[in-house]
Amino acid sequence: MARYIVRRVLWGVALLVIVTAVVFILFYVLPTADPAKLRAGRTANPQLVQQIREQLHLDDPIYVQFWNYLKGVFFHFDFGESYLSQAPVKDIIFHRLPATALLVVGAVILWLAIAIPVGIISAVRRRSLMDRTTMVTSLAFISAPVFWLGLVALYLFASDVGVIPIFPGQGSYTTADSFLAKCGSMLLPWMVLAAATAAIYARYLRSSMIDTLAEDYIRTARAKGLPERQVIMKHAVRAAITPIVTLLGLDIGLLLAGNAILTESVFVIPGVGQEIVLSIRRSDLPMIQGIVLFGAFFIVIFNLIVDILYAFLDPRVRYQ
Amino acid sequence: MRLRWLRLLAPLAAVLAFAFVLTSCGDSSDDESGGTGATGSTGIPEEFQAPTAAPDDAKSGGDLVVLNEGDIDYMDPGAAYYQVTYMLDFAVFRSLVSWAPDADTDPTPDLATGEPELSDDGKTITYTIRDDVKYAPPLQDRTVTTADIKYAIERSLLPGVANGYTSTYLSGVTGMDEAIKAAEKNTTEAPDISGIETPDDTTIVFNLDDTSAAGVMGALSLPVSAPVPEDYAKKYDAEEPSSYGEYAVFTGPYMVQNDCVDESGKVTDENCSGKITGYQPGEEIKLVRNPSWDADTDFRPAYVDTITFQEGFADPTSASKKILDGSSQVTGDFPPSPTVVKEVASGGKYDPSQMVVTPSGGERYISLNTQEPPFDDINVRKAVIANSDRVALRNTRGGELFGPVMNHVIPPLIAGFEEAGGLNPPEGLDFLASDTGDPDLAAEYMKKAGFKSGKCEGSECNITMVGDDAPPGRDTATVFQDQLEQLGFKVQFQPVEHSLMYTKFCSIPSQEPDVCPNVGWIKDFNDPQAFFDIPFYGPAINPSNNSNWPQLDDPKLNKAIEQAKLVTDPNERAQTYAELDKQTMELAPVVPWVWDNDILVRSDDVAQVTNLFNGLTDLSFTSIK
């Protein structure tokens, strides 16, 4: 197991270097706005634009910029400075990460709390009214775009613009001055982010449970006279949940990487997703690079955690 | 059997009902302005004209919240070059001269004790400043001097500060060229501009090589003249780029909270560094009262106790409703959506007075590349303008309240606007006579250009257009594309992200497409010079950062532009620029389509005051009821 983990970590580092290279190449190959001109302003003369370009090292060869960047990241944990605000990229990301983390953690707890019981019950009571209702509802939530769902939730339940004003509205995270208040401000965003994901997870789990319940060992367990509850919860769920664990690792990594952009934008949560939107608009390469790298890091780490969890969840999995 | 049919029909019925609901929601493509009543020379209905003075019973106290979609550009006053940043800067920085809310032609003395003295030959401008204005903590024991203003202007030439307008508008100041060259050589030390003299702590003299005093005085009304103490800022300016923005010192009634003061503006740490703590980029800016500010030295009343900019409101509809339904809030950098504008204008749930409309001092036009066929032919350009339904173009932004149709260069409230024709086109320019398009006249011009059928024919009619990829810019481009195709052009339209459109296509002459549909200009200060010096002046064509998008380079017009900026008498200046305006439009370089309005909404309990110069809320005059 230890060798497996070390191998995965080394592959993870290699992956981060490749991701960094890809972002660099994309930034230079695909058309992006010129950050030196954006900084210089609309009436700046070419000399000023060139001076800014030199200051930001934009006129260095790409491979020199890339090498300097890699050295900074891996040897000094320095992700450079934002072209626009000159603040260290690392500081900006760490400042925004708690908001995204709170959003993700809360949403994860909520969607698992919904998806797991719904998936299990739907599988166990296949084709019942409850099964059909939950599956149609889940289809509706999967189809609804997150931003639309978010706006509908705001207009229905937000305390500032809602018809039934019961939850804190847009921008309430920024004005919240305690952890509890911040959690309160996240109630609607949690529900919105959890809605579609819970629906997907419920369908996956239902499908996986149906396959597992048809397995021979489940029939054996029943034949041995084990209580149905034990058959389901101890034997079937444990095997059926592994695809969910895989999904969970990916989803958490992606959301921490900024995939909660739409939810953060609708509810004005100052998280990583919101920052990546701003950075792309301003062609702020160090910020884009830093956020992508952090995102890749989270995805690598959570995939590793998921793979290790497999060994505990499913005894059939052994790592050489 | 019946049940099975119902199972089929039920979802069909649901889809039809949904479609019905969707189609019964209105769109804003019709020209529905809302509002009746006299419009005056700005085209704005009276009921929406912005208050530019605080009410007599304005109350002190309270916390004002400004909702923004984006962020300011820079905290450093030397680098700031954005309308929304000025909204903040007018509250936290005092400049040599500034703009009271109702000042639409002449700036208001701020640090200056009064109007400047202009020498008889128009080449020397002398200001006297107050001797009793103190800086906010950490420099609370220090008084502003003219040396600080001189340094503020000089440091703006550093590439680490990257001011976008000093070298343009102050180009006539003696020694400016040498200073610019010195800044290129030594990028970490502000150069000396020999033409700016400070014989004593309260006198500052600008010596000019020409009579471009009007442009100089206009530029001094911008935050670049906010004082910066050299010994305090030098160490920050030595960095590349300058980090002074993180430690800026304030002189206005408010300050951005730093490590010296608490939320009430009380000094909490005598040994503080001045590091700004109240600014989280893209998130929030917190303004508190400046404990050093003396109301007796300032024209600003400063009613509210704190001002918070909350940023990141990406959806203008929900953000506008939050303001309208909420309390103590105003819009910052976004207009309300057309839906909200219609809802407020029609009365009902919201009081129409919760919305105000002000000319922004900006305009939008579609540039035609005058250096390349087919638009190098003036008759083709005139045909395109004549054919354009400019009302339809304007309506892509939401309708009449979003601005009157543009008919010439100088926008409303800028000197020369009325003389140039006001809301109407200049006399004698028949291709601008109709704002809904005149296809017959367009056909005549095409025939004059050699297209016998009255429509464009041949390979030169295959043209390229690069525009915004998001509404409303994309909508404008698409509507214009249709109009061009009606005239026989074959348009290849490439939508790209907005800043990419500017920095990689439309502002690089060698890359520029035939049409740039989403360009425009906004004033730098309340003088018509700003609308010609760069956007239509041939020598200003810049190979890598061009803003003369039509690439207009007419020798007669260039000479007229050079002469106009030397006129100093205000009345003569207005008339001169009005004539210049007509001369420019005669060349038909652009399709003018809207003079932008700024539309703001406020919460019911806010006595909002608009600053006419900026078109946005004047934070120092706004109060909570």
Q: What tens digit of pLDDT does each residue of B46-64 get?
A: 889 999 999 999 999 999 9
In B, minimum Cα distance to A43 occurs at B164
Measured between alpha carbons, how far is B387 from B441 in angstroms, rounded to an integer?
Answer: 8
What is the pLDDT, as a whole number, of residue A100?
A: 94
For B241, the closest of A32, A49, A86 (CB atoms) is: A86
Q: Which residues 82-111 on chain A approach chain B with CB closer than 8 angstroms?
A: 82, 84-87, 92, 95
Q: Mean pLDDT, to the nearest integer, of B598-613?
A: 95
Test the B interface: residue of A39, A42, A136 with most B CBs within 10 Å:
A42
What is the pLDDT, as a whole number, of residue A317?
A: 60
Q: Mean pLDDT, to the nearest integer, of B543-549?
A: 85
- Give how far A270 is from chain B: nearest CA, Å: 6
B51 touches chain A (CB under 8 A): no
Lowest mean pLDDT among A229-243, B202-216, B474-488, B568-582: A229-243
Q: Mean pLDDT, to the nearest integer, of B139-160?
A: 95
Measured between alpha carbons, how far is B501 from A154 in angstroms, rounded to an integer?
Answer: 34
What is the pLDDT, as a whole number, of residue B10?
A: 44
Q: Across the interface, do A34 and B503 touch by the CB < 8 Å criterion? A: yes
What is the pLDDT, as a whole number, of residue A230?
A: 86
Q: Which two tokens stand for residue B216?
A: 């100089």
Of B74, B92, B203, the closest CA to residue B149 belongs to B203
Share of residues in chain B with pLDDT > 70 (%): 94
Q: B315: which chain A residues are within 8 Å (Cβ-Cβ)?
A: 151, 265-266
The model's pTM is: 0.86
In B, minimum Cα distance to A264 occurs at B312
Q: Which residues 273-292 on chain A approach chain B with CB closer than 8 angstroms?
A: 274-275, 277-278, 281-283
Q: A87: which chain B residues are within 8 Å (Cβ-Cβ)?
A: 281
| Contact partners, residue A261, CB within 8 Å, separation at least 6 | A273, A274, A276, A277
Q: Mean pLDDT, to the nearest integer, of B402-417?
A: 94
Q: Which residues 344-403 on chain B approach chain A with CB closer than 8 angstroms?
A: none
Q: Across the interface, do A38 and B241 touch by the CB < 8 Å criterion? A: no
Burial A282-292 (b: 16+ CB within 10 A, else e): bbbbbbbbbbb
Which residues on neighbouring strands pair with residue B276, listed in sequence order? B258
| Contact partners, residue B314, CB within 8 Å, separation at least 6 | A265, A266, A268, A277, B69
Task: Please tell us whether the domain made up of B71-297 is placed in CATH 3.40.190.10.
Answer: yes
For B282, the closest of A42, A43, A275 (CB atoms) is: A275
For B497, the closest of A33, A37, A52 (CB atoms) is: A33
What three-state secondary structure class fits B150?
helix
What three-state secondary structure class fits A99?
helix
Measured between alpha carbons, how far is A7 from B572 in angstroms, rounded to an integer?
Answer: 80
Band (B21; pLDDT cuts 50, 70, 90) = very low
pLDDT of chain A, 320 residues: tens digit per residue? 777 778 878 888 888 888 888 877 777 766 666 777 766 666 666 777 777 777 777 788 888 888 888 888 888 888 888 877 778 899 999 999 999 999 999 999 999 999 999 999 999 888 888 888 888 888 888 888 888 999 999 999 999 889 999 999 999 999 898 999 999 999 999 999 999 899 999 999 999 999 988 888 888 888 888 888 888 888 888 888 888 888 898 899 888 887 888 999 999 999 999 898 888 877 788 888 889 888 888 888 888 888 877 767 666 665 54
Question: Model confidence over B549-564: pLDDT tens digits?
Answer: 999 999 999 999 999 9
What is the pLDDT, as a whole number, of residue A93?
A: 92
Share of residues in chain B with pLDDT > 90 (%): 72
What is the pLDDT, as a whole number, of residue A240?
A: 86
For B168, the closest of A43, A265, A266 (CB atoms) is: A43
| Contact partners, residue A296, CB within 8 Å, separation at least 6 | A15, A16, A19, A257
A78 touches chain B (CB under 8 A): no
A34 touches chain B (CB under 8 A): yes
Of B547, B102, B91, the closest CA to residue B306 belongs to B91
Q: Which residues 553-592 on chain B approach chain A with CB closer than 8 angstroms?
A: none
Q: Mean pLDDT, to the nearest integer, of B582-591?
A: 97
Whether the per-residue pLDDT at B34 is higher than 60: the answer is no
Q: A282: which chain B residues are within 8 Å (Cβ-Cβ)?
A: 499
Measured between alpha carbons, how far is B203 from B197 in angstroms, rounded to an integer?
Answer: 8
In A, minimum Cα distance to B163 occurs at A40
Q: Across the interface, do B70 and A278 touch by the CB < 8 Å criterion? A: yes
Strands B462-468 and B490-496, how do they pair? parallel
Which residues on neighbouring strands pair with residue B368, listed in sequence order? B515
| More confident position, A63 or B84 | B84
Band (B6; pLDDT cuts 50, 70, 90) = very low
C-beta neighbour count of B300 within 10 angstroms: 23
Whether the per-residue pLDDT at B252 is higher than 60: the answer is yes
B315 touches chain A (CB under 8 A): yes
Cβ-contact B122, B206 below 8 angstroms: no
- Give how far B282 is from chain A: nearest CA, Å: 7
What three-state secondary structure class fits B56?
coil
Q: Which residues 122-181 on chain A approach chain B with CB closer than 8 angstroms?
A: 151, 154-155, 160-161, 169-171, 174-175
Q: A45: which chain B residues are within 8 Å (Cβ-Cβ)?
A: 167, 542, 545
What is the pLDDT, as a whole number, of residue B38?
A: 40
What is the pLDDT, as a whole number, of residue B311?
A: 94
Q: B283: which chain A residues are within 8 Å (Cβ-Cβ)?
A: 174, 270
What is the pLDDT, as a whole number, of residue A75?
A: 85
What letter does residue A316 receive in the DSSP assignment? T
Measured between alpha carbons, how far is B42 from B550 in angstroms, rounded to an integer?
Answer: 27
C-beta neighbour count of B286 within 10 angstroms: 20
- Calculate ∠ Cα B566-B567-B573, nearest 5°: 135
Q: B284: which chain A residues are within 8 Å (Cβ-Cβ)?
A: 174, 270
A30 touches chain B (CB under 8 A): no
Q: For chain B, how many residues are written?
A: 625
Task: Please tell us whether the domain made up of A93-313 is placed in CATH 1.10.275.10.
Answer: no
| Domain ranges within chain A, ordered by starting residue | 2-76, 93-313
What is the pLDDT, as a whole number, of residue B16?
A: 42
Can you name the CATH fold of B359-597?
Dipeptide-binding Protein; domain 3 (3.10.105)
Q: Across the interface, do B280 and A31 touch by the CB < 8 Å criterion? A: no
For B282, the closest of A49, A270, A283 (CB atoms) is: A270
Band (B351; pLDDT cuts 50, 70, 90) = very high
Could you give the C-alpha distances from B39 to A150, B49, B356, B400, B420, in angstroms and in order? 39, 9, 13, 11, 18
Size of interface A-B (CB pairs under 8 A): 134
Measured between alpha carbons, how far is B254 from B249 in angstroms, rounded to an integer?
Answer: 11
Lowest mean pLDDT among A51-65, B446-460, B580-594: A51-65
Question: Model confidence over B308-324: pLDDT tens digits?
Answer: 999 999 889 999 999 99
- Calculate ∠ Cα B567-B573-B574, nearest 5°: 170
Q: Across the interface, do B283 and A282 touch by the CB < 8 Å criterion? A: no
